[in-house]
Amino acid sequence: MDSIFGLQGGDFVIVACDGSIAHSILKIKETEDKILKLDDHKIFGISGEGADRNSFGELVHKNHCLIRYKTGSYMNLQETAHFVRSMYAQAIRSRDGPHQCNGLLGGVDSDGTPSLYWLDYLGSLQKITRGAQGYANYFLLGLLDNQYKPNLTKEEGIEIIKKCIKELQTRFLIAQNKFIVKIVTKQGIEAFTI
């Protein structure tokens, strides 16, 4: 039931998530941050049940750090996306089965190029400019397609994300009141709640 959605602009990437954790009919928490910070210029929004989201997120984060220490440099976005995809793919026919979570990986490379990748629990990988995971797809893809244009500015991007949030709050059966939005630019990551 998580909503994760994101947008890539001219020089930034935004990934937003809802903050709620639900257990049968109860909303246990409303301020859970589902967007993982991999390093100063990469974020990974993960959608899935609690334990899978947590444990896969930790796996990606720690392995990402390990590669940096082993090789002495940070991977760029394309390398990271393919690395995460390979982690998903290795798990598919493993004893414990696939990692039951999907993700949106976004970030900005050191030369300033932004990219957003859509990752699936079975190891699908697609570079996109706008997208969502979960039920948010149904409500937001039309809106994101309609509002997107090439080389969006950061302010325009934030406005579109606000419209997406408003749409989910209007039309989605499940009440999602708090959203956490993270923006990556060449300067770093900004986070705020709406």
Partner 1 sequence: MIDFDPSTFGLAHTYQKEDKDEINTLALPSAPQVIYKTLNGPTQINGGNKLTNFKHGTTTLGFVFKEGILLAVDSRASMGSFLSSEQVRKVIEINEYLLGTMAGGAADCQYWLAYLANHCRTYELKNGSKLSVAAASKFLQGILIGYRNSGLSMGCMIAGTDTTGQHLYYIDNDGMRLKGDIFSVGSGSTYAYGVLDNHYRYDLSLNEAVELGIRAIYHATHRDTASGGVVRVYHIHKDGWTKVHDGIDVVDLHYQFAKQKGLVGDGDEAKQRLF
Minimum CB distance to partner 1, residue 35 (Å):
16
Nearer to partner 1, 100 or 113 (CB): 100
3-state SS, residue 176: coil
The DSSP code for 33 is -
Minimum CB distance to partner 1, residue 48 (Å):
11
Nearer to partner 1, 118 or 121 (CB): 121
SS3 content of the chain, % helix, strand, coil (to 5): 35, 35, 30
Minimum CB distance to partner 1, residue 36 (Å):
15
Minimum CB distance to partner 1, residue 22 (Å):
11
What residue ranges bind partner 1 (CB under 8 A)?
Answer: 21, 23-26, 28-29, 31-32, 49-51, 54-55
By CB atoms closer than 10 A (0-12, 13-18, 19+), residue 1 is: middle
Minimum CB distance to partner 1, residue 38 (Å):
19
Minimum CB distance to partner 1, residue 25 (Å):
6
Neighbours of 105 (CB within 10 A): 28
Neighbours of 141 (CB within 10 A): 14
Nearer to partner 1, 25 or 173 (CB): 25
CA pseudo-torsion sign 19, 126, 66, 93: positive
Distance CA 31, CA 24 (A): 18
Nearer to partner 1, 31 or 63 (CB): 31
Nearer to partner 1, 23 or 149 (CB): 23
Cα dist from 173 to 40, 49, 137, whole Å: 35, 19, 14
Residue 110's identity, in one-letter code, is S
Nearer to partner 1, 20 or 115 (CB): 20
